[in-house]
Structure 1
Amino acid sequence: MRTPNRWAMLSLGMAAQGSGCVFMYGLPFLLPALQAERGLSLAQAGILVGAPSAGMLFTLIAWGWVADRYGERLAMTTGLALATVFLTLAALSGTPAVLAVMLALAGAAGASANAASGRVVLGWFPKERRGVAMGWRQTAQPLGVAVAGAVIPPSVHLWGVRGALLVMAAITLVTTVSVGLLVVDPPRGDKAAGERTASPYRAPALWRIHGASMLLVVPQFVTAGFALTYLVSARHWEVASAAQLVAAAQFGGAAGRLLCGRWSDRVGSRVRPMRRLALVNGTVMALLATAAQVGAAAATPLLIAALIISMSGNGLAFTAVSELAGSSWAGRAMGVQNTAQNLVSAATPGAVGALITGTGFATAFGLAGALALAAALATPGQAESAPEIPAPRATAGR
């Protein structure tokens, strides 16, 4: 049997995760239509928008177990097929309560791609190329949001909320068929000598990576969530210009993930670049807090720099987690990683919004910088976080 092309497998994994991101993170584009068509308040529409993310939190680890036990293709195909069904039922629902339940179930099902697509990267790419590959995989979210931004508004204009939800269902259906027909599970073979089979959570290194990643979520969401507000309210930018600048920074963050992946491949370590990037992140955030406090013009470029830096290291943590967990535990460990980060990301906007209201932007930026520095301290050293998963035994196509 001819070995599949590893980049094709990566592309399919990205497509699987990206299609989930279209409806999980693209629903905010439906907010005005939900209010106008369904007569919902902004708070009620907001609950609907957050329903897929809430559902995802309950199933990430379970889908990781399915991928570990039964394979990546089965996990992704099953999850995306169920998401297609639930999105279709959401489009046909007549009440907000039913719509919320269906969207939550779609998010719970679509979470399968998060852990399983990471295992595809882990299995088909050798260690020396895994950083770049995982960096590409981590760009699936911004690309999925970009697709949602291009597709959902015209769909709403033409067919309303129901039509837009059916378009999302069609996207997941096409991805389901592609994954089911084309994805090949990486070879697992016999356990190599020294490869981890027992729980990796008996040692502190994996817990420390999870903890550091949770701390790093805060500066990422402080900058991504409040950059537009800061530029408009504090720097007096026009909304359109500020939005364009923040959107351009998203592409910078995606490029940063690729560069950080390449950096980790070259130095043969995930945690060393992760720690150094956290130190840079904390330093830039501290400079931003100082500039915001005194109203300096340098605050704007520092804000964009902080936004890009805070997004750039995300793939490093996922690669470190998957390698440290080993092939028997990688899916579950990435499920834990996703769950922990999503819990913090859900709590951060409200808490930081209250902090900014009470004390101003400078305090929030300073707190985010302090947490980034704490993340650098929490990141384990190279010796205790040495990967326990060998390079794939089969040579994938180029």
Structure 2
Amino acid sequence: MTVIVLLATTLVLAFSSLVALFPAAIAPALATSLGVSSATVGFQISLVFAGAMLTSLVGGPLTRRLGPCRTSQLSLALLGGAAAMLSIPSLPTFALASLTAGLGYGMTNPSASLLLVRFTPVERRGLIFSLKQSGVPLGGVIAGASAPALALSVGWQAGLLLLTAIALLGILVLQWPRAHWDNQRDPSTPWLASPFSGLSVVWHQRSLRYVALLSLCFSAIQLSISAFTVSLLVEDLSFGLMEAGFVMSGVQICGVAGRVGWGWIGDRLGDRLTTLSIIAMTTAVGALLVASLTPAWPKPVVAGLLCLLSLSSLGWNGVFMAEITHLAPLNRIADAAGGCLVFTYGGVLLGLPVVTALHGVFDRYTTVFLMLAGVSMIGLWLIRLAKRACQTSSPAEVSTSTASPVTSASRDHQ
């Protein structure tokens, strides 16, 4: 059952990433139809994550009310509907569709966390969650490979409608295990009555609070490296555009490998906070080395260094998600996952404009990477605070974080 649940949750997450990144992969064709610049199309990512933040706020109670499988089906319905709306060449519809896609995107992790906790052995949780999180870059790779080809062969609108058909197929397939996967749902849970319940769980438990803030730092670093590696190589290090593109592909592939590898390491160590500390330190060292690069460095060395940096800077997600399930009260895991992801998506939204502003000040991406090393060290400090909080948590704090007016541990988990 673990394999089936892992496959289902990974594919749903990959599909959400595919829909979110599909417009960016066909930005020139889409921009022409909308009558805007390609850069304007790029802002749809911000709308996607704004929508994801909204549903992360209610992801926990909604998952308990509907069940994790039904919530995943609802996520696919929103993503499929968003893809159909994106096929309409209208700028207001495009903006609304991007927000709708984000609403579906934000539901994926709370529901997946609840399913994986139920059907995954504790000692393998880091690796399993890391494998699931590999769905995000997998969706990006599929978008980059398929979107331009579909746009050229059948047209970009038909390509988006194909995504709608895939979403419908996914909803039908998930109907098969739904009765078993949703047998602990609580239909009486008021999912809109307390939209900040997930944030409350996170903020009242200090260890979760620090881990959530850590994810804000790490997601900002991850976005910056993903978004600005090509610009760094071309503008600061005299790479050709094609060369930089190949390096960027290597960076993403190493990021996938890092997610799986760090998940395995976390399980072997039996201490995921220590694993996250190692990730923070290696990210800081890697970013400092990147900050020291000049055009005189051999290009293979530069590419290798960036790929090594991506192993840690893009590989933290699965360990982070697994640690949430370890720290969170058993009856509030979905709430904690949703609450923490609000901070994660906040890092995504903040990272791009802050890094862009820093580049405007320093006019060099290498200097920006020096700042990213500092952000990583802030993350290391937050992990230290989280460890201390785990050791000193008071019974009052634990009871506050576990309190739930509408559900009990026996109803939510096996």
Using structure 2 for the length normalisation, give the TM-score: 0.83
CA distance in 1, matches of 2:302, 2:94: 42
Task: Report what 2:168 is aligned to.
Answer: 173
Task: Report what 2:207 is aligned to.
Answer: 205
Among 29, 41, 46, the residue aligned to 1:45? 41
Q: Is the 8 A contact 1:187 1:393 kept in 2?
A: no
Amino acid at match of 1:205: S
Q: Is the 8 A contact 1:86 1:103 kept in 2?
A: yes
Which residues of 2 match residues 1-398 of structure 1 at below 5 A? 5-48=1-44, 50-91=46-87, 93=88, 95-182=90-177, 184-185=180-181, 199=201, 201-292=203-294, 296-297=297-298, 299-359=302-362, 360-379=364-383, 380=385, 382=387, 384-385=389-390
Q: CA deviation at 1:75?
A: 0.9
**3-state SS of 1:312 partner:** coil
CA distance in 2, matches of 1:348, 1:231: 19
Q: CA deviation at 1:312?
A: 1.5
**3-state SS of 1:111 partner:** helix
Identity in percent: 20
Amino acid at match of 1:180: Q
Q: Is the 8 A contact 1:123 1:187 kept in 2?
A: no
Amino acid at match of 2:63: A
Q: CA deviation at 1:281?
A: 1.4
- Structure 1, residues 302-353: CA drift from partner, whole Å, max 9, x if none? 3332222201222111111122113321112211222212222122222212
CA distance in 1, matches of 2:44, 2:134: 25
CA, structure 1 residues 90+351, in 2 after alignment: closer, same or farther (shift >3 Å)?
same
Amino acid at match of 2:120: F
Q: Is the 8 A contact 1:76 1:116 kept in 2?
A: yes
**3-state SS of 1:328 partner:** helix
Which ranges in structure 1 are unaligned for 5 or more consecutive residues?
190-197
Mean Cα displacement is larger for which, 61-70 or 328-337? 61-70
Amino acid at match of 1:353: T
CA distance in 1, matches of 2:6, 2:113: 9
CA, structure 1 residues 182+221, in 2 after alignment: closer, same or farther (shift >3 Å)?
same
Amino acid at match of 1:326: P
Q: CA deviation at 1:109?
A: 2.7
CA distance in 2, matches of 1:41, 1:381: 44
CA distance in 1, matches of 2:74, 2:48: 17
CA, structure 1 residues 48+264, in 2 after alignment: closer, same or farther (shift >3 Å)?
closer
CA distance in 1, matches of 2:379, 2:82: 38
CA, structure 1 residues 178+42, in 2 after alignment: closer, same or farther (shift >3 Å)?
same
Amino acid at match of 1:281: T
CA, structure 1 residues 251+215, in 2 after alignment: closer, same or farther (shift >3 Å)?
same
CA, structure 1 residues 116+291, in 2 after alignment: closer, same or farther (shift >3 Å)?
same
Q: CA deviation at 1:122?
A: 1.6
**3-state SS of 1:176 partner:** helix
Q: CA deviation at 1:8?
A: 0.9
- Structure 1, residues 93-127: CA drift from partner, whole Å, max 9, x if none? 35321232133223213422222112222221111
Cα RMSD, aligned residues only = 2.7
Q: Is the 8 A contact 1:68 1:329 kept in 2?
A: no
**3-state SS of 2:271 partner:** coil
**3-state SS of 2:104 partner:** helix
CA distance in 1, matches of 2:220, 2:95: 27
Amino acid at match of 1:248: G
Amino acid at match of 1:27: P
**3-state SS of 1:26 partner:** helix
Amino acid at match of 1:268: G
CA distance in 2, matches of 1:52, 1:276: 31
Using structure 1 for the length normalisation, give the TM-score: 0.86
**3-state SS of 2:237 partner:** coil
Mean Cα displacement is larger for which, 111-120 or 368-377? 111-120
CA, structure 1 residues 201+41, in 2 after alignment: closer, same or farther (shift >3 Å)?
closer
CA, structure 1 residues 42+82, in 2 after alignment: closer, same or farther (shift >3 Å)?
closer
CA, structure 1 residues 23+200, in 2 after alignment: closer, same or farther (shift >3 Å)?
closer
**3-state SS of 2:181 partner:** coil
CA, structure 1 residues 316+88, in 2 after alignment: closer, same or farther (shift >3 Å)?
same
- Structure 1, residues 11-54: CA drift from partner, whole Å, max 9, x if none? 00111111111111222012111122232233543344543333
Mean Cα displacement is larger for which, 313-322 or 97-106? 97-106
Q: CA deviation at 1:178?
A: 1.8
Amino acid at match of 1:42: S
Q: CA deviation at 1:219?
A: 2.6
Q: Is the 8 A contact 2:70 2:182 kept in 1?
A: no
**3-state SS of 2:340 partner:** helix
Which ranges in structure 2 are unaligned for 5 or more consecutive residues?
186-199, 403-408
CA distance in 2, matches of 1:65, 1:211: 22
Amino acid at match of 1:372: S
CA distance in 1, matches of 2:265, 2:173: 32
Q: Is the 8 A contact 1:60 1:339 kept in 2?
A: yes
